[in-house]
Structure 1
Amino acid sequence: MTIEQINLVLSIPFASSQALLDFYRKELPGRVGNYRLDEVGPIMSVGSDEEVEGYLNKRFFFNGKGVVMEGAIDWYAAPEGDLEWNGGFVRQGYFMYLADRYESTGDERYAAAVVEQMLDYIHNVPPYDPEGKPYLEYKKSTWRPFEVAGRAAENWPVALAKIITSNSMTADAFAEIYYSIYQHARFLRQHHWKTGNHACLEVAGLGVISIFYREMKDAEEWRTYAVNLLMSKWTEQFHPDGYTQEMSGAYHWVALRNFFAFYQVAQHNGMEQIFPSVYTEWLRKTAMAEFYQQKPDFSLPITNDSNVTTRHQIQLSALMAAGLLPAEDALFRLSNGREGKKPSYTSHFFPQARLAIMRSGWDSEALYASLDMGPWGCNHMNDDQLNLEVSAYGRNLLVNSGRWRYTTSPGIDWLDKAEYFKSTAAYNSVLCDGMNQVHGDADGEMRIAADSDYACGTFCAGYGYNGGAQVSREVGSTTQTACVVPDARHKREVFYAKEAGFLIVRDTLTAEQAHRYTQIWHTVGGQVEREGNVCFSCFEDANFVMVQCGDPEIEIFCGSEEPFKGWNCPAYDHLVPAPQIEASLTGQTVVFETLILPTRGPVDRSMLPVFEKEEKDGKTIYQVTVGGKTTSVEAGCMWRLVK
């Protein structure tokens, strides 16, 4: 690569490749600053010493799965046929960890590995022409725009800023890398997706490149294009209430980070004026949605391809630092109440997303519940309507199973298992005759009061069987469904008594014919025991007690292969046994009435709560007795505490 070739893509010429390198040795570290995005793909390095040392010897392991390569690097590798592994590999986020080691030790081996492997990729995997190609072939090429942006706009800049002054970074090497970055940017400009969070990530990446390497001749046009396209995407990506259209606890941040990363880099480089004020207003609204939805341990609602071990504390810190969250409220949350000011609000309802968040406070011990009553979503759709999760006293107590593997690798023998985790059976909801929900929206509303919260959601799309996966370039992977019971209707009501600290869940199922309905509750692990109609977890620090009113048939499964029940996915491609509670009733109309009482410390078996109901003057009165104290709740059109 000659300097004459490089100068063709620059707005200002350089006398030599060494002059180019010297210039960026001075400029790039300052422009990049503390920029470092969490990787968005499910497969990524965790930066452990074992992993990083392995990268020096072509031992590429991510999330416990990997490949040892002899000789040439196989950039198309996909262990067990999982294309998501390959995506994580070729986004090359592991370069950042190699660069970290170089920065902290000065050991040239780490910098040399980054340069050598970056050049190996550049030499052996040239830009791909996607025109007219099938989607899966495109994805296997390693040049899907999602991976292109991950490499050139997210991971390479961080690594290069740390190793650019090393002896391993020669003028010739940097010239080749620099030209490849330009090719990556040109590819993004021409081939970025047109819809979904991928489009936003890719175009935001183009904007980031235009700031870090603003001497490139097309940088200003790329920057303007990125701002304009992202401005047109806000309402496609987010509801007016600020929550993601994807209806995913984890992917709300993924959608937000695309807009935020570009803004953050511009702000750091003194260029935030490129954004109109409405861009910043949307950022603040979506940042607050992230603030509202998080559980006390900074994890997220496990909806539409999410996992329980995902934590977003660092993300909140970044949003606060950028001035996008109320500083005192965010500081209180981040410091667990040691600093800042306690927010004046607790529970929250997203009226368009129809996500209800109930909470007792903002500390790590707070009681928290989320009820999803919203649209089916887009891009990461699971059949998870009316799912409920509960956390309290520092522990996630009732959680959905979570994402195992994506269903974007057709023909693989584990695909049926992956599809299970996208079905209703993997969520805290209700099945009809063992069948899952078919694709469809829910509806719902919430009332927030000083002494209680109440949410009511309905799902009316019906129940049926899942078919095979459909993989689409624009909307990702979904399963086909055939509706068998179109008239089955599920109504879920959740009442939270704030002072007493319990929830009452009433599920009403109706259809023209009698059906067997099964209410499902998933946990994160541990042990669940049962005494009659009472089930409870057995941890030392915090637990739940679940009491069924009436006499449903109750079963508990844990780590069962046949039937496949009782599993949790703490992270992508990780599967652990976790108790699953099922309660079943049969009829044309059935009603599950369930008390959920979080408790601090071990459950006292001699003092289990009593959950009863009576019909009085045409009203239903629930009575919850805990430790000799009884709390009464009137259920009807308006649920309320009976004083």
Structure 2
Amino acid sequence: MATADAALRDTFTLQGVTAVQPRRPDGGFDWDWRGPRNDPEWAWFFNRHLVFTDLLAAYQQTGDVRYRDRILVTLDDWIAQHPAPSGITFSAAWRPLEAARRVMESWIPIYAALRDDPAAFPPERRARFVASIRDHALHLRNHHAFSGNHLITEMLALTRLGLTFSDLPDAAGWRSYALDRLARAYEDQVYPDGAHKELSSHYQRVVALNYQELLDLLRASGQEEAVREWEPRVHRLWDYFAAIMKPDGTNPLNNDSDTESVAALLRQYAPHIRIPEQTVRLPWAGQVIFRSRAAAAADAAGVRGSGFGVQGSANAAAANNAKPRTRNPKPAAATPPPLLYAFFDTGPRGTDHDHADFLHVSLSVGASDFLVDNGRYTYTPGAFRDYFAGPSGHNVLLLDGLGPDQGPRAVTAAADAAGVQGSGFRVQGSDSRFPSPAGNPKPETLNPEPAASAAPAVEIAWGDTTFASASRPAFAANPRAADWRRLVAHVPGRAWIVVDRVITFSPATLTTLWHWSPECTVEPVPGQPDSLIVSRSSATLHVRHAASQPVPADRQQITARSRPSPQGWYSPRFNMLEPASCTQLDQAIRAPLVNVWLFSPAALPGASIRISADHRIVVQLDPATSLTLDPEAPGKSAVTGTMR
């Protein structure tokens, strides 16, 4: 009701921004107004007429005709002001995506609810409306996007128009064309492991919901053969979400993404899918999701467990399924140890909505995020768009302030143990000791049954890239300023180790960035200059650092900086901006250097890191357990002692 009442006052909230929509001198809305931030997104969203469904709900609930009449007057004004264009356009009214969203999410539901009301749709209005519907269909048929999530949305809208207005002369042709394009788009845009090629969890959601609606439409229209063809394709899109979902039930913010409830989507659309508790490798998306249960856990009351800094952190899905208490409850089962989670990006950058995030790492302990991807915030060009989409907003390395090469937008082959990811792009593949689906995996491939045997001693993934010299005169003689290999080792239940090996032979400033969740407090450890303790109300992460040789270094914490360039910001959703701490380590180097970072939920008081002259690494987790890593031969890593 609040949204509908605000609309009666010409007040609207779009993508988290609220404003009064101005009107033209003749009384109609200014449909081209870009909102209070001069953002084209406002005009596009306003022309989708999403508020119509809120006004309809208010009318149906109260019977107050003011809500119905506001819909109809606004609809009349829009149709009168916007005859169909003769070609493709990016205008606020007729960008193909807006035409698609408008008819699917607003016009079709409104017409279904009000078409039998003679006061709402008398013959004259009905004729104008149906004529505009046909204009929308012809526009989507002839001037749709060529690819990407826009094409999928536009073809779904054309399918719905063909089914809803089946008595129109061209309806059968619209359906046939749209269904063919939707099938081709799926083959062109979805990897065999279920990842949409834009590699954004937000647009994965858009695509998955669109294809889910297509499947529902096919079921409702009795097209059983088509349903059988589409079911495994749609399930694969949800499989990807199950593979990447964080312990709190939300998604990592890879590329242009918002924080959204993956758990709720899976419960509604794919309840058959098992959520993995083991490490998953997506060889086409180039993403490794490390998972394991912590070695020790807090008790049910949330008291910190012995040697482990986590208070009770129940999985969001489990919490939503909790049963009410009874008068004589059974003894409560022990709270399971929290899930340790890491997201490591070694894949292509994405065909659209991409960020400079190659080799980025995110970490979570149970429902508590620690290292994060910072989100998207805005599409408006400028310093903040550069920050959120560029390397400075990610957990990566910079060389003289610039990010590394990002590789191709898409790949034509899956990563394998030989290290070939795709045409012209090299990624040293991941250790084979965890599931690695290939070809066209079935849903269960990405969701292995819990292993009966002990967890592997260590899981390793790594990737390579270069820092090009085109913008660095000091390196002009060499097309590559430096080579960078990042290796991530996961010791199940215990820790993560991140190894950055940089090879260069000229003076440069190497910058390491670690972006923390806004809920994190980052503090140095007294007497340990190379250690940090990162605290949240529900968990703690201990960080140790070592370098292969002493070099001049400066470590600082940056929060909410706007100038000279943004740093220390986080955006959980579009148009939302929050201060968040960033650890920045600047090192003056002139020769190859290896940095090793140990992240552990437990304090590990006996831990140490040793790096030999040939860059072999020994990480001592406790007096009885050590891990040997070789950045030159990552697959030869070894563990001594008992890991759990």
Q: CA deviation at 1:238?
A: 1.5
The CA RMSD measured in Å over matched residues stands at: 2.9
The 3-state SS of whatever aligns with 1:554 is strand
Contact 1:515 1:588 in 2 (8 A): no
Q: CA deviation at 1:90?
A: 0.9
Matches within 5 A, 1:183-582: 183-274=135-226, 277-307=228-258, 309-320=259-270, 327=272, 329-330=273-274, 346-360=278-292, 363-364=315-316, 365-407=338-380, 415-441=382-408, 443-447=427-431, 448-449=433-434, 450-451=455-456, 452-460=458-466, 462=468, 486-500=480-494, 502-526=495-519, 527-531=521-525, 532-550=529-547, 553-563=554-564, 564-582=566-584
Q: 2:598 aligns with which of 595, 599, 606?
A: 595
**Equivalent AA in structure 2 for residue 503 of structure 1:** W
* Change in 2 beyond 3 A, CA 1:176/1:374: same
**Equivalent AA in structure 1 for residue 567 of structure 2:** K
The 3-state SS of whatever aligns with 1:421 is helix
* Change in 2 beyond 3 A, CA 1:104/1:505: farther
User: Per-residue CA shift, 1:434-486, capped at 9, x if unaligned?
Assistant: 112344246242234532321111123637769xxxxxxxxxxxxxxx99973
Q: Distance in 1 between matches of 2:469 and 2:5?
A: 50
Q: 2:38 aligns with which of 51, 60, 81?
A: 81
Residue matched to 1:18: none
Q: 1:128 aligns with which of 74, 85, 90?
A: 85
**Equivalent AA in structure 2 for residue 266 of structure 1:** L
Q: Which runs of 4+ in 1 moved over 6 A?
A: 463-466, 482-485
Contact 2:31 2:92 in 1 (8 A): no
* Change in 2 beyond 3 A, CA 1:524/1:65: farther
Q: Distance in 2 between matches of 1:509 and 1:557?
A: 24
TM-score (norm 1): 0.77
The 3-state SS of whatever aligns with 1:445 is coil
Q: Distance in 2 between matches of 1:248 and 1:211?
A: 30
Matches within 5 A, 1:136-155: 138-155=89-106
Contact 1:58 1:73 in 2 (8 A): no
Structure 1, 560-569 or 107-116: larger mean CA deviation: 107-116
Residue matched to 1:642: 640
**Equivalent AA in structure 2 for residue 597 of structure 1:** S
**Equivalent AA in structure 2 for residue 590 of structure 1:** L
* Change in 2 beyond 3 A, CA 1:53/1:536: farther
Q: What are the ranges of 5 or more consecutive residues in structure 1 without an aligned counterpart? A: 1-48, 132-137, 334-342, 408-413, 467-481
Contact 1:401 1:569 in 2 (8 A): yes
Q: CA deviation at 1:317?
A: 2.9
Q: CA deviation at 1:396?
A: 1.7
Contact 1:99 1:163 in 2 (8 A): no
User: Per-residue CA shift, 1:514-535, capped at 9, x if unaligned?
Assistant: 3221111112213322222222
* Change in 2 beyond 3 A, CA 1:549/1:118: same
**Equivalent AA in structure 1 for residue 544 of structure 2:** V
Q: Distance in 2 between matches of 1:640 and 1:196?
A: 43
TM-score (norm 2): 0.77
Structure 1, 610-619 or 238-247: larger mean CA deviation: 610-619
Matches within 5 A, 1:86-165: 86-130=43-87, 138-164=89-115
Matches within 5 A, 1:55-70: 55-62=7-14, 63-70=16-23
Residue matched to 1:410: none
* Change in 2 beyond 3 A, CA 1:129/1:282: same
**Equivalent AA in structure 2 for residue 589 of structure 1:** P
* Change in 2 beyond 3 A, CA 1:98/1:642: farther
Q: Distance in 2 between matches of 1:159 and 1:367?
A: 46
Residue matched to 2:296: none
* Change in 2 beyond 3 A, CA 1:266/1:168: farther
Q: Distance in 1 between matches of 2:469 and 2:204?
A: 27
Contact 2:498 2:597 in 1 (8 A): yes
* Change in 2 beyond 3 A, CA 1:123/1:391: same
Q: Which has the higher helix share?
A: 1
**Equivalent AA in structure 2 for residue 623 of structure 1:** Q
Q: What are the ranges of 5 or more consecutive residues in structure 2 without an aligned counterpart? A: 294-313, 317-337, 409-424, 435-454
Q: Distance in 1 between matches of 2:542 and 2:187?
A: 41
Q: CA deviation at 1:403?
A: 0.6
Structure 1, 345-354 or 104-113: larger mean CA deviation: 104-113
* Change in 2 beyond 3 A, CA 1:573/1:540: same
**Equivalent AA in structure 2 for residue 566 of structure 1:** G
User: Percent identity, aligned pairs only?
Assistant: 25
Q: CA deviation at 1:615?
A: 4.9
Q: CA deviation at 1:616?
A: 11
Contact 2:606 2:620 in 1 (8 A): no
